[in-house]
């Protein structure tokens, strides 16, 4: 009897993505989960490079602007800082970055300044994404370095993680508002005056 094909839970990889790309993006998704666990927006990043021994994970990062009080602590920047420190160089032309959400302008420019070879992202960001969603900074011919960009790898799991996170946040906010609407549970304590002191 012939062997039945395995059930697929995700669509096959696009021809532009390799199993190594998928492996790195799965690590980035793990980093995004770490962000959620500490109350940050779940975005994760992984930096890799090819070595004679094979693929090397150089650094990882996840969103930390709230916990570190640092508006620049996006997942890409956190990973970039670690990689530059570990490799002792501010230029990383042999490195590739995998991130679960399309980079913003700050992150895109930092990656281009560091001379990254390639950036792969999962979900598009229609509000601040600059790899084609809002604008395409990576495609600006006036810039002196051009990082290759590829999007859509594992986009659905990354987008679902973000949807779940924001749904949970909205539910928690609704519950807080409902608690605060109950008598005696407002933000400012209230009470009934039954008499005045005669002092």
Which residues form the catalytic set? 76
Q: Is the dihedral of CA 45, 157, 64, 135 positive or negative?
A: positive
Cα separation, 33 vs 91, whole angstroms: 29
Q: 């890799």: which residue's tokens?
A: 48
Cα separation, 175 vs 186, whole angstroms: 13
Q: Which two tokens stand for residue 45?
A: 């990043």
Cα–Cα separations (whole angstroms), residue 134 to 38, 119, 128:
29, 17, 6
Local structure of residue 94 (DSSP, 8 states): T
Cα separation, 115 vs 102, whole angstroms: 18
Local structure of residue 49 (DSSP, 8 states): E
Residue among 52, 53, 78, 61 at smallest CA distance from 24? 61
Residue 60: how many other CB atoms lie within 10 Å: 22
């Amino acid at each position: 009897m012939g062997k039945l094909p395995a059930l697929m839970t995700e669509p096959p990889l696009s021809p532009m993505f390799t199993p190594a790309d998928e492996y790195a993006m799965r690590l980035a998704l793990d980093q995004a989960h770490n962000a959620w666990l500490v109350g940050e927006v779940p975005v994760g990043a992984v930096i890799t490079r090819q070595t004679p021994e094979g693929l090397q994970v150089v650094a990882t990062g996840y969103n930390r602007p709230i916990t570190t009080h640092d508006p620049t602590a996006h997942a890409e920047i956190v990973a970039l800082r670690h990689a530059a420190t570990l490799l002792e160089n501010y230029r990383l032309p042999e490195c590739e970055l995998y991130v679960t959400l399309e980079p913003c302008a700050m992150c895109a420019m930092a990656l281009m300044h560091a001379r990254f070879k390639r950036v792969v992202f999962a979900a598009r960001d229609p509000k601040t994404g600059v790899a084609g969603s809002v604008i395409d900074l990576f495609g600006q011919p006036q810039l002196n370095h051009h990082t290759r960009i590829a999007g859509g790898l594992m986009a659905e799991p990354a987008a679902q993680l973000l949807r779940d996170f924001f749904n949970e946040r909205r539910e928690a906010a609704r519950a807080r508002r409902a608690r605060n609407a109950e008598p005696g549970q407002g933000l400012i304590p209230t009470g009934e005056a039954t008499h005045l002191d005669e002092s």
